Amino acid sequence: MPTTVKEMLAAARAAVPMIAPEEAAALIAQGKAVVVDVRDGTEVQASGKVKGARHVPRGLLEFRADPESPMHDPSFQKDKTLIVYCASGGRSALAGKTLKDMGYADVRNLGGFQDWVTSSGAVEK
């Protein structure tokens, strides 16, 4: 049975809770979270990213998150909260579901980058 993008997004959104920018900022300030920007490089270059975020394009996520991968990014730690975001929240929902499937227990979806900017979240270019 084929799965549609709509169905995949519904499953991802059910598995990965949304987080408000203010809650994300509090977790970041406490050092309890790793923020992951899953947008393409051109998007990050054009608008910047959440201050301190790891830029990991969605296509490389599994390779960066898997401790057994030669491309592993050590900032992916299973004892931290992972906060993912993209431009509008769809790719980050799918990325969050992937991380949950990989054994990351506490994954949250910040949604779209613009939500962070609108809430006066810190940005770095």
Average pLDDT of the chain, as a whole number: 96
The DSSP result for 13-66, as a single string, is: HHHS-B--HHHHHHHHHTT-EEEEE-S-HHHHHHH-EETT-EE--GGGHHHHH-
CATH number of 98's domain: 3.40.250.10
Q: Between 113 and 2, whose confidence is greater?
A: 113
Does residue 101 contact residue 12 with C-beta atoms inside 8 Å?
A: no
pLDDT of residue 2: 62
Single-letter amino acid code for the residue at 31: G
pLDDT digits (tens, 9 = 90+) for 26-83: 999 999 899 999 999 999 999 999 999 999 999 999 999 999 999 999 999 999 999 9
Q: What total number of domains does the chain contain?
A: 1
Range of the domain at 21: 5-124
pTM of full prediction above 0.85: yes
CA–CA distance, 83 with 92 (Å, rounded to integer)? 9
pLDDT of residue 53: 98
